[in-house]
Structure 1
Amino acid sequence: MNTPESFVEELAAVDLVNTFNPYSDICPIHDTVDAARARRENLKRCLEAAMNARADTIWIARDLGYRGGRRTGVPLTDEAHLTEAEHLFGGITLARATTGPALAERTATVTWQLLSSIGRPVMLWNVFPLHPHAPDDPMTNRSHRKTERSATWPFLLALLEMLQPKRLVAIGRDAGEALADLDLPVSQVRHPSYGGQSEFIAGIEAIYNLSSSARRPETATLPFAEFA
């Protein structure tokens, strides 16, 4: 797993019960016929761009969400913000992998408004890099189990080895606890879901020395689903 291509190929081979692997699975309701391939290519291009740009920070949340990374293959990124992701990563091309309207999602919306203000490459990831869902209910979000984290933890370690980041930003308490034993500086911020949006914004602004006036005004109230 020492190259973006081999990393994505091995991630696509992971098969766990009650999880959706966006890099190999196809949703029969929303996906195009080549959705898994498109998401693999999206992730590979982001990894390549982050390496080329020498991105020194990785933002890490807990799990992929069903309205965000499950659909795009890009962590913390919904379809409504694929264009912003293309620009931030230096003009790469990221493909839609689903049919119908492009969905927006709360965590991804706030995340990308802040990333656009920061204006520098940041790699995005999840402690558990697949979408965990309730049994027989694939359009739900649940917290991953410790056994699931253990099964996919080598991917986080491989990502750290490839990018050699100087700092990690843990989005939410669960992510912060999972990353606590790593030998890297970890800055923890509140997750923006369930009333944490203002604290999340303030935490990122403090890390990057941003003033609140630098943000676009639409971060105030976002009527979208909670998870990325």
Structure 2
Amino acid sequence: MDHAFARRMLTRLAPWFAMLKEFSDRADAHALYDPDTEAGRIRLSNLKIFLGQLLPWRPGVLLIGEAPGYRGTWRTGVNFCSEKIMMGPADRFGLFGGEAAGYRLIEPAEKLCSEASSTVVQRVIQELPCPPLVWPAFPLHPHKPGVDESNRTPTPAELRRDALPQLEKLISLYRPRHIAAVGNIGMTCLKELGVDAVKLRHPAHGGGPQFRAGLLELMADVNH
């Protein structure tokens, strides 16, 4: 565990955090980290707590997903992480841990929300020797106009305008040793940036077993 590395990296990532905070809500996309909203401040706080737990492991692998979903990242601020995972006990790497670790819900609820893809991804991560850094290509939650609790695919224009600049900034500041895409959108964005990356099957729509096999193979190759 390298806590000094984590502190240095959080400082280095400050320009990237600044980019995330510049986004505002749109008619068909929620800004996740808008500092002018209470929800945005809570998500940003949760994200920084999570990175403070993750970065001491010095993750050398960066996984680029697609877009935040309404049952996961939109509610937590942490990619591939539902309320149920975030507010549950810490995992084998010391990630998450609920209120004891400082995490907060945007809205109190009688039942914590879960998300299938988040559950699959976090379960597979528990099989790895070191957790990767996971981040979505598109940094907002895209939804159908007027339907907050829905998901939609980002348009090519949105990816060029919003995904590529923040993704390029994250990669340049974090400098991962290995990069992989989880799904088509992540792979498309990485190709646009000229980044050589492996493509993993997205865990949604029955892709969990293929995602698991691909990630385990990737991590085995990385560790050889």
TM-score, scaled relative to structure 1? 0.78
Residue 165 (structure 2) pairs with residue 154 (structure 1) = yes
Residue 31 (structure 2) pairs with residue 13 (structure 1) = no
The residue identity in structure 2 corresponding to 1:195 is G
Residue 106 (structure 2) pairs with residue 97 (structure 1) = yes
Q: Is the 8 A contact 1:60 1:170 kept in 2?
A: yes
What is the distance in 2 between the residues matched to 1:67 and 1:179? 25
Q: Cα 1:177–1:38, aligned 2, differ >3 Å: closer, same or farther?
A: same
Deviation at 1:50, TM superposition (A): 4.8
Deviation at 1:193, TM superposition (A): 1.2
Q: Among 64, 75, 81, which residue is 1:77 paired with?
A: 81
- Where 1:209 maps in the other structure, the secondary structure is helix
Q: Cα 1:184–1:167, aligned 2, differ >3 Å: closer, same or farther?
A: farther
- Map 1:31-70 to 2 at 5 A: 34-70=38-74
> Residue 141 of structure 1 corresponds to which residue in structure 2?
151
What is the distance in 1 between the residues matched to 2:51 and 2:205? 30
Instruction: Tell me the percent identity.
Output: 26
Q: Among 210, 213, 218, which residue is 1:199 paired with?
A: 210
> Residue 6 of structure 2 corresponds to which residue in structure 1?
none
Structure 2 unpaired stretches of 5+ = 1-9
Q: How much is the aligned-residue C-alpha RMSD, in angstroms?
A: 2.9
Q: Is the 8 A contact 1:86 1:92 kept in 2?
A: no
Q: Cα 1:2–1:160, aligned 2, differ >3 Å: closer, same or farther?
A: farther
The count of corresponding residues between Structure 1 and Structure 2 is: 204
Residue 135 (structure 2) pairs with residue 131 (structure 1) = no
Structure 1 unpaired stretches of 5+ = 27-32, 211-228
Q: Point out which structure has higher relative CO (alpha carbons under 8 A, 6+ apart).
A: 1
- Where 2:126 maps in the other structure, the secondary structure is helix
- Where 1:193 maps in the other structure, the secondary structure is coil
Between 38-47 and 135-144, report the one with greater CA deviation.
38-47
- Where 2:69 maps in the other structure, the secondary structure is coil
1:23-79 deviation digits (Å, cap 9, x = unpaired): 1289xxxxxx83321211122233455554432111111100000000000111111
What is the distance in 2 between the residues matched to 1:36 and 1:48? 18
TM-score, scaled relative to structure 2? 0.79
Between 190-199 and 69-78, report the one with greater CA deviation.
190-199
Q: Among 106, 109, 123, which residue is 1:113 paired with?
A: 123
1:137-166 deviation digits (Å, cap 9, x = unpaired): 111100011221122221111111221001
What is the distance in 1 between the residues matched to 2:58 and 2:11? 16
Q: Among 87, 94, 114, which residue is 1:87 paired with?
A: 94
Q: Cα 1:158–1:53, aligned 2, differ >3 Å: closer, same or farther?
A: farther
Q: Is the 8 A contact 1:88 1:120 kept in 2?
A: no
Q: Cα 1:6–1:46, aligned 2, differ >3 Å: closer, same or farther?
A: farther
> Residue 174 of structure 1 corresponds to which residue in structure 2?
185
